[in-house]
Every structure is written in C-alpha cells, then in structure tokens.
C-alpha cells in the first residue's frame, strides 16, 4: 500500500485556506499513485483552536469543510483531522473515500497537561473502528492515543489492523524527536504493526510544530521520515503482507501488555483499491537536523509564522550592541528577509563606542539599513519633569528604567507609524528572574528568544556564524550589560549565567524545590536569591508578549502560577528564606 503523509502548515481558523491546501495535497499525492494520504490532527481547523470550539458556527463550518474535502477523494483514501459534534465535541479523524465520509474515529486520550487543554473542550471516544481497504485492515488514532502503551492502537492491532495511522499536532521542544521516534519504534514492535505518524508543521502563537512525520515498520525500523519545520508529502510503500506473515509466524495477532480496557473495534468496509501500474517510489527519509540548527530553525519558523499569520509584513528590533538583540535581528532576517527587518539603534550617554561599533557590524553583516534615534533629549526631559518630586533622592534603578521605557516608547511609535511589529529581545534567563523593564524592553508584539537561556543564546550565535559571520568575536566575549549606568554589567545583579541557567532549569523546568537544588552543589544563598527573583517576577511574565517555545517547559501556557501567591516552598535549613526587599535591576 502506498501511503503519503501530508505535513502541512495549517492556520487556526482558516477553514477555507486549510481546505484548499488539503485538496491540493490530495491531488498531488494521487498523481504519485498514493492509495492513502493522511493529514495532521485537526488539520481543518488548525491546532489548537482553543475557544473557537465554543462557537457553534465555527464547528458547523468545519463539518462543511470536511464534506468539501470528501468531494475531492474519488481515487484515494484520505484521513483528515476535524472537530466532530453531537451533544458533545470530539477531536476526530475521518476516513474519506469516493466522495463520502466512510467512517470516523474519536480521540480517546485527551491531554490536559503543559500546553494542552483538551478536556476543556472534548469528550473522549469509546470505539476504535477498523477500516478495510482492499481487505487490508487499518486503524486510525489521534496523537496522544499512541504515546502511552495499550489503548486504541493495541486494541486495533489485536483485532487485526496491520497499519496504524496516527495523526498528530505534537508541539516541538529541543530534542523531542528522539523521544517520539523511540516511542513509535517500541509501539510498532509491541503491536506487530506498521505505524504511520503524520505531524503538523508551523508556528501558532507560542507553539511550533516540527513535522518530521514517520513510518515505522513492524520490526521497529524507521522506513520513512519527513523533514523538520518544512511542509511536504512524505511517501512510503508499506508491505502489509510482510506484517501479516510475521504475525502468523509468531502465532499471535499482536504482542504487548494485556489491554487495560475493552475497546470495541467494529470493521467498516471502505472499498477495494483501484489496481494500477505505477513506478516504484523511493521512500522519503530525511535525516534529523543537528541540535543547534534544529533550535535555530524552530525560532525562525515560529517568528515567520507569527509575523505572517498575523498579517504583518515588516518588523523592527532595538539593536543595542548586545548579543540578544543581535541574535533576534539575525533570526528575523532569516525568517523574513532583510528588506522586511528594521533595526533602531537608540544610544544614550551610557552607550559605549564598543556597542556602537558592534551594532554597526551586525547591521552591515545582515544587510540592514541604519536607523538611529538618541534617547538623551527625552531622558533629560523626564528627569527635568520629575526633579521637583524626586528632590533629595539619589538616582537609582528608577532612572535606569526610564531609559528602557523611552526606548520601548520609541519602538512602539515606529510600529504605529509604519505598521512594523516590534520584536522584543529578552531571553529566558532574564524573563525568569525579572531582569527586564516592564513597558520598556518588554514592550512589543513577539518575544523571539523568550524561551532561550542566555548560555544557549551564545551557542546559537556561534552556530549561526558558521553560515557566514554575523556576530563579531568581541560581541561573543564581552561582559553582558544593559548600559543603563556607567560601568554596569549583568553580573552586578545576577549570578554568572553559567551558574544561573542550571539553577533556572532545575527550578523552572523541573520544579525542584530549593533544598533539592542545593543538594546538586549550588550555593544556598545563590539559590535563595534566584528563587526569590523568579517567584516575585510572575506579574511581569504575565504581561510579556508571546514567544517561541523551544524547551520542555516555557513560560506562558506551560507554567501558570498565580501572581498573588505567598507560597515560597520548603527550603533546607541552610537556605536563607527570600527577603522581601532583595534588589532587582528592573522592577
């Protein structure tokens, strides 16, 4: 059986556009002689549709779109994700053939962790029908159904299914493909079935979907693999007779653990495939990207799709001479092209000649037009207006934040006047501990590296230099600084990033309490300070723009803590409890 997996970039809510894209892919796959083509989870609506699902007209329109797709299936079987409805809503997959809906499967396992909220909207399914294509039994499941052992895929295999189609909208994080591939190899061996796993591609708000669709045979061998972060049709000829023979040789329909529940598996006859001569096809087998390129391409795709899907053409970045703004500028250029990226250099009396030189080098390397606006005049004006009120008080972090807020105001003015989307430049380390100015450097529409720790920022910059130098060595080796006062460096306020980032990973991503972090060998006082800064900065993160998720736990949908929150965890005796007045650079 020749199968094609269409890893498409669907747009949430664009029912007409998604339908058109699906129909075009069906036509292309049919020309290649495909017997069956599978599309991702909720391909018609885009994923995740969230509270669009509460609009009855949206659900009804998605059903009409399904019928339109069915009318384009005279010669090929099609599996497509959509929202089904009776008295409840279901995350569903339909098998279409010969202009009609031949059968429907409702997703059983509804994820409700991390970025997922499916139990808010959907009811779980109860059956796992088998579809007979030319007497070859196949089954269809949706995403989470295959991630845990047992359940519908195993029930279908034991009922005789030789091919398991699993349609997905599986969000990306760095290295997740390894976990996904190993899981599918295990399931295919355990169930003695070929698994075809098709995944969504594209950016949707904070989420990125990486594609990388897979076909794994009954021996656990990857026989087809799609590219990462690219749309495309992934082809493979699967030998279902070999699966059947292997089962007969083993004397059992499928191996694996005993079923935890009885799942009905009715058989739905579809039709005999139309026999035709066709040339052999080389299966799609694209190797995975190396780790840093994978992350960089996720950031590029997430940025491009957020900008384009929200109907912007151009973006603007405050290019300061620091590593963060330089990396964001490079990602923006790679995502949109230099003609759509504008950079504003906004110097002050504290801006060094080195920062100016670096910013100019980065700008020229990326082919960008210079735009310079000094913040000195408005800064003097602000200080003059506030002088009577601030009489007798020394300058402190207040004046530092005024500078950052002037820059934010100028960038937003450029956005309003020219229609450019402001890309903010804060990294995950800064967002974690609140080392950022609310309504200042946090002001903007999209936070490109919001989920990228500072140490990873440097690694990505060095990787990008391998494609052509953008970041001069003096930028990669200078001490990080906000340049909001004379001689300032980040380490005046924060631990070195080589220490800070591992603590943040343990506390933010792994949810370890302070005492457990101290047991890993970190200084108790440093851990106490970092934890206090993270906890106290939730109100800032709640007001930050969305940004690309590239770690297992990002701020936003992944991590939702109350702003008003007195819990500070149980610390070891050696850990000093956070003091309310611990200074923070940018409150």
Q: Which pLDDT tens digit goes with each residue over 373-389?
A: 999 999 999 999 999 99
Q: What is the CATH number of the domain that holds 140?
A: 3.60.110.10
Extract the tokens encoding 470: 């953008």
- Structural domain includes residue 256: yes
- Decide if pLDDT at 584 tops 90: no
pLDDT tens digits for range 444-486: 999 999 999 999 999 999 999 999 999 999 999 999 888 888 8
Do 201 and 330 reside in the same domain of the chain? Answer: no
Domain range holding 403?
291-490
297 and 247 in one domain? no
DSSP 211-276: B--EEE-TTS-EEEEPPBS--EEEEEE--HHHHHHHHHHHTSS--SSPPSS--B--EEEEE-----
Question: Quick one: 374 and 482 in the same domain?
Answer: yes
Query: In this structure, are 10 and 129 located in the same domain?
Result: yes
Whether 328 and 216 map to the same domain: the answer is no
Q: Which of 143, 400, 454, 483 is catalytic?
A: 143
46 and 99 both lie in a single domain: yes
Count CB neighbours of 104 within 10 A: 18
Please identify which of the residues 107, 529, 540, 585 carries the catalytic annotation: 107
Residue 557 annotated in active site: no
* Token pair listed for 540: 């800032």
Collect all residues with Cβ–Cβ distance below 8 Å to 175 and sequence separation of at least 6. 291, 294
Q: Are residues 82 and 228 in the same domain?
A: yes
Look at residue 252 and tell me whether its pLDDT is greater than 70. no
Could you write out the DSSP letters of every residue in 88-154? SEEEEEEEEETTEEEEEEE------STT--GGGT-PPP-B--EEEETTEEEEEEETHHHHSSSHHHH
Q: Rg (Cα) of the chain, in Å, rounded? A: 27
* Encoded tokens for 522: 């970190």
From 87-91, 125-129, 543-547, 573-577, the region with the lowest mean pLDDT? 573-577
Strands 194-199 and 201-204: unpaired
CATH code: domain of residue 471 = 3.40.50.620
Q: Is 430 a catalytic residue?
A: no
Beta-bridge mates of residue 164: 139, 195
Phi, psi values for residue 413, rounded to 5°: -65, -45
pLDDT, position 578: 38
Q: What's the rounded Cα separation, in Å, for the pair 103 and 278?
A: 28
Whether residue 203 sits in one domain with residue 79: yes
The token pair that represents 172 in the structure block: 């990306």
Of the candidates 237, 271, 305, which is a domain's last residue? 271
| Cα separation, 431 vs 27, whole angstroms | 46
Question: Which residues are registered as beta bridge partners of 197?
Answer: 166, 214
Residues 27 and 83 in one domain: yes
505 belongs to the catalytic site: no
Say if residue 512 is preceded by a cis peptide, omega within 30 of 0.
no
Q: CA-to-CA distance for 130 and 149, rounded, in angstroms?
A: 19
């Amino acid at each position: 059986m020749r199968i094609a997996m269409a890893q498409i970039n669907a747009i949430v809510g664009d029912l007409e556009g998604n339908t058109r894209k699906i129909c075009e892919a069906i036509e292309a796959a049919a020309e290649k002689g495909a017997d069956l083509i599978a599309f991702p989870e909720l391909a018609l609506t885009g994923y995740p549709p969230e509270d669009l699902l509460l609009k009855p007209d949206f659900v009804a329109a998605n059903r009409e779109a399904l019928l339109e797709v069915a009318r384009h299936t005279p010669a090929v079987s099609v599996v497509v994700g959509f929202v089904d409805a009776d008295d409840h809503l279901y995350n569903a997959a339909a098998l279409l053939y010969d202009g009609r809906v031949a059968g429907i499967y409702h997703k059983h396992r509804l994820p409700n962790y991390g970025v997922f909220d499916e139990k808010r909207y959907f009811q779980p399914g109860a059956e796992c029908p088998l579809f007979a294509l030319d007497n070859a039994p196949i089954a269809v499941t949706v995403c989470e159904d295959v991630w845990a052992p047992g359940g519908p895929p195993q029930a279908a295999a034991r009922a005789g299914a030789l091919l398991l189609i699993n349609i997905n909208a599986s969000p990306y994080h760095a290295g997740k493909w390894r976990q996904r591939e190993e899981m599918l190899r295990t399931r295919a061996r355990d169930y003695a079935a070929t698994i075809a796993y098709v995944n969504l591609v594209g950016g949707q708000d904070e989420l990125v979907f990486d594609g990388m669709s897979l076909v794994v045979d009954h021996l656990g061998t990857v026989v087809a693999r799609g590219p990462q972060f690219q749309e495309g049709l992934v082809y493979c000829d699967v030998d279902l007779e070999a699966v059947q023979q292997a089962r007969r040789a083993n004397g059992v329909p499928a191996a694996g653990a005993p079923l935890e529940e009885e799942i009905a598996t009715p058989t739905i006859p579809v039709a005999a495939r139309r026999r035709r001569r066709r040339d052999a096809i080389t299966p799609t087998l694209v190797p995975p990207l190396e780790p840093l390129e994978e992350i960089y391409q996720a950031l590029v795709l997430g940025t491009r799709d957020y900008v384009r899907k929200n109907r912007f053409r151009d973006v603007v970045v405050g290019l300061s001479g620091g590593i963060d703004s330089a990396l964001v500028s490079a990602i923006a250029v790679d995502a949109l092209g230099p003609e759509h990226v504008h950079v504003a250099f906004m110097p002050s009396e504290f801006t060094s000649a080195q920062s100016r030189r670096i910013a100019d080098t980065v700008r020229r390397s990326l082919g960008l037009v210079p735009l310079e606006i000094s913040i000195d005049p408005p800064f003097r004006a602000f200080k003059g207006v506030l002088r009577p009120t601030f009489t007798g008080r020394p300058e402190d972090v207040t004046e530092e934040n005024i500078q950052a807020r002037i820059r934010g105001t100028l960038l937003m003015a450029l956005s309003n006047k020219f229609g450019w989307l402001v890309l903010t430049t804060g990294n995950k380390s800064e967002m974690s501990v609140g080392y950022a100015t609310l309504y200042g450097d946090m002001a903007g529409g999209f936070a490109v590296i919001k989920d990228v720790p500072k140490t990873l920022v440097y690694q990505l910059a060095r990787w990008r230099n391998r494609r052509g130098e953008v970041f001069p060595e003096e930028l990669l080796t200078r001490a990080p600084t906000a340049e909001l006062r004379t001689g300032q460096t980040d380490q005046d306020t924060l631990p070195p990033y080589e220490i800070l980032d591992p603590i943040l990973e343990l506390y933010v991503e792994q949810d370890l309490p302070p005492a457990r972090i101290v047991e890993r060998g970190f200084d108790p006082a440093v851990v106490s300070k970092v934890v206090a800064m993270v906890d106290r900065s939730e109100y800032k993160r709640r007001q930050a723009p969305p940004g690309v998720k590239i770690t297992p736990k990002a701020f936003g949908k992944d991590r939702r803590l109350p702003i008003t929150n007195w819990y500070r965890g149980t610390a070891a005796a050696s850990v000093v409890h956070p003091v309310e007045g611990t200074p923070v650079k940018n409150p």
